[in-house]
Amino acid sequence: MTTTTGYQAITLREKPTVVHRIRGLELGVTGWIAVVLVVVFTIMAIAGPALAPHDPYTQDLLRANNPPAPGYPLGFDYEGRDILSRVLAGARTSLLGPLLVVILGAALATLLAVTAAWARGWWDASVNVVFDFLLAFPGLLLAVLSVAVFGKGLVAPVVALAIAYMPAMGRIVRSGARSETSMDYVTALRALGVPARLIVFRHLVPNVTPLIIAQATTLFGFALLDLSAISFLGLGVQEPQPDWGLMVNTGAAGVLLGHPAESLSAGTCLALAACAFTVLGLRLSRRIEGR
């Protein structure tokens, strides 16, 4: 019986160290700058509201559009709220939207694309038709339409964008999964009697995950810009909630009065985040293709 207990402690995975994994990515200087920015923005999204030096909602109309003052390095917006606090607090709403878009879009795309690649035949053909049909719609147009139908707010545009972005991801995942299904190990798993459902979700999906992650990172950048555009138009996030897209719009008054800090800081954050995610996504895809 001693041998019995001896074997039970075995774990079947020896994780490569973090250092090894990071070195293996070979992202280049631009890629690493993108990584740093992505990390910074992620921290902002998680801890932003806590980092804000002042309450982002407290109005003081006497200080509306005032220039920077001690303790208020970016000055005040048109309602006298601290701009720095609003930029930091806005990170969460601004980045949460695209995250939901990407997660929802990736989940839908993976489900459709991998099952299509596995089943082939009529299901594959139908999924392709759906992807082609959706590709014909610009994401922003679909999002604006959904606001018109379902009302203002974040939910409708997020769902609309997720659906609009699905085919871009789905096509890549499908071709990746398709080449994976023709590999001998899949035949070997079938020969072992492993049911198709398990082969698809335990082998195909994990093996195309790097593709999904790279593609999702790129699309995150696009989704960020699209959702900000919707908020800028006043259709997405509503006042008084802080959001970068919205702040670019509300700061417009300050630009005319010579206080461009609100539009500029929110706009800079948007531009940097969008660039960082897009660059990182492209680097990752290039890395995967070169594999």
Partner 1 sequence: MAPLLSVEGLVVDLPVRGPTGRTHHRIIDGVSFDVAPGEAVGLVGESGSGKSLTLRSVVRLLPEGAEVRGSLRFADADVLTMNRKQLNALRSSGVATIFQDPRAAVNPMRTVGDFVLEGPVRAGGRNRDEVLREALGLLTDVGIDRPEQRLRQYPHELSGGMLQRIVIAAAILSRPQLLLADEPTTALDVTTQSDVIAILDEQRHERGLAMVFVTHDLDLAAAICDRTCVMYAGRIVEDQLSSTLHDAPQHPYTAALVAARPVLDIDAGCELPVLRAIRGRPASAYEAPSGCPFEPRCNHAEPACSATRPPEVNSGCSRVACFRASELRGILALEVETHA
Which chain residues interact with partner 1 by CB under 8 A?
Answer: 3-4, 7-8, 10-14, 120, 183-185, 187-196, 198, 202-203, 206-207
In whole angstroms, the minimum distance from the beta carbon of 254 to partner 1 comes to 53
In whole angstroms, the minimum distance from the beta carbon of 108 to partner 1 comes to 23
CA 76: distance to chain centroid? 30
Give the H or E element holding residue 259: none
Residue (153 or 197) nearer to partner 1, CB: 197
In whole angstroms, the minimum distance from the beta carbon of 115 to partner 1 comes to 16
Instruction: State whether the Cα torsion 72-77-80-85 is positive or negative.
Output: negative
Return phi, psi of residue 69, to 5°. Answer: -135, 165
Residue (181 or 249) nearer to partner 1, CB: 181
Rg of the Cα atoms in the chain: 23
- Which amino acid, residue 14? E
Distance of alpha carbon 254 from alpha carbon 263, whole angstroms? 8
Residue (207 or 241) nearer to partner 1, CB: 207
Evaluate whether 93 touches 242 at the Cβ level (below 8 Å).
yes
In whole angstroms, the minimum distance from the beta carbon of 13 to partner 1 comes to 6
Residue (179 or 268) nearer to partner 1, CB: 179
| Helices 83-119 and 205-232: angle between axes, nearest 10 degrees | 140
Q: CA–CA distance from 237 to each of 15, 104, 217, 231 (Å)? A: 41, 19, 22, 5
Residue (91 or 177) nearer to partner 1, CB: 177
Residue (195 or 258) nearer to partner 1, CB: 195
In whole angstroms, the minimum distance from the beta carbon of 192 to partner 1 comes to 4
Residue (69 or 188) nearer to partner 1, CB: 188
Evaluate whether 176 touches 208 at the Cβ level (below 8 Å).
yes
End-to-end CA distance of the chain: 46
In whole angstroms, the minimum distance from the beta carbon of 3 to partner 1 comes to 8
In whole angstroms, the minimum distance from the beta carbon of 18 to partner 1 comes to 17
Evaluate whether 63 touches 259 at the Cβ level (below 8 Å).
no
Distance of alpha carbon 166 from alpha carbon 141, whole angstroms? 15
